[in-house]
Chains A and B, each alone.
Chain A
């Protein structure tokens, strides 16, 4: 299999807290890889390390064989790492302009940037809201701005941090196919999600983190039957699969 991203022994401590410790895994080109784990497991921190917003203490992060660990975030973005944020904070400008922001790096004129941004908005079905301010949109729509903005960077690997959290079931049903659609357009996806059903439905493989460590990796079925995972994560709650 062709590995797009290879992470080895990645470690990050906050003072005495090992937020991410000795994490190693690979993301295969073209897959949807899920990342689950209880709150505080270190999932968002792992994304921060891969996207470069945090510097790692140890370990390597290789995208198509090239080391990312020492590169600033904007270079990693240019190399193909895109991400969304768990807490959506759209820029204080119209929906269209939000998507235009990263596009300027690829298209020099405003007009070209606008056209390209519009295409992406069509893909995430926000084209009709292009001239609205994000504050007038629903949470589900704002999460789609996040995805659109990240797609505008033309990522090879897209890191999605809880893009379904906080949405009602019908909104989840509306946003979920989008993830598959993005993958089908040629983007590899690593995504964090709390909703087990949704996660199991669309990921080919799942990583499980607990207290900074990677404790399991496999198909959704393998992972949910793993005893470690059941005790660490699914715990008292009834497993949903």
Chain B
């Protein structure tokens, strides 16, 4: 009964999303939807290491590695963006291998700091390695419309590509969370020592989580570059957009859950764009002040994120025969 209703609701939502581009021809609305889809995918990918309690503020590294790989292959070597997707995913995963050293060795905030440094170093490399990346001028994707070049005259194809990407990453993260890897990561997040003593190779679990996360983020980076046409170090390895934003979405929506990143991305993407556009022009960095305040509010008052407020609404009511809690 309940699952039936859920399936019907999901079907209606999907149908609705499928016809959005038909009814809303405004490029702004289409762009906003597309961006939300990209951010759902990014946040859900960022969230995978968070199953294991690992909090990254450096995912721009994987996004940029993916984007730059595909853009350089396409623009400089004429290699198809579809091959670029694989290459970008692969190179981002290599980045993941590098970040996995601090991941399995450093606890809590120290890993987070290492992740920030990692992304910043890559951004500086992208600025300095001009022969490869064109430095701060950046790389432009030439406008040669067609599916072969993953370049389009209207925003519609990318609306559907981003939507498919978001759905795929949500499904993947759901699958990971309910697989043995997901259970092992959640156990490690709750009590790393207990997890180890129960036979879990927690270092390996964290590593595999980061491999999924970095690879997916790299792939998203590839697609985003072809959506956006331009790639320069400040945008590709943008701390603000691709490291902070997914983390913000995750915390505000509910980190380590399936729907938290979705809810977070839906709420924060339009808000983030708005803040960046209006407040950013009044005073640089003013948008961060608002982020900071929101973060403090959520962490203090709803530590589980917005999804935790919706939990009673999501979950079927359990019979009240539970024994009295002690302590």
Contacts and interface: CB of A to CB of B under 8 A. Distances in A.
Contacts of B200: 74, 101-102, 105
A138 B183 CA distance: 24
Contact of B196 (A53, A93, A152): A53
A153 interface: yes
A91 B190 contact: yes
B191 interface: yes
Interface stretch (B76-84, B140-148, B286-294, B318-326): B318-326
B186 A138 contact: no
B183 A97 contact: yes
Interface residues of B, number: 27
B325 to A, nearest CB: 6
A53 B195 CA distance: 11
Contacts of B16: none
B180 interface: yes
Given A72-B201, A149-B198, A129 B323 contact: yes
B199 A74 contact: yes
A132 B321 CA distance: 10
Given A73-B196, A73-B197, A74-B201, A89 B191 contact: yes
Contacts of A104: 180, 183-184
Contacts of A139: 326-327
Contact of A138 (B189, B198, B201, B323): B323
Interface in B138-188: 178-180, 183-184, 186-187
A138 B199 contact: no
A131 interface: yes
13 contacts: A53-B196, A74-B201, A90-B190, A91-B194, A93-B183, A100-B183, A101-B184, A102-B198, A104-B183, A110-B179, A132-B322, A138-B323, A139-B326
Q: Report the 8 A-B pairs with minimum CB-CB distance, sorted nearest first.
A: A77-B199, A104-B180, A73-B196, A102-B198, A91-B190, A136-B322, A74-B201, A101-B187
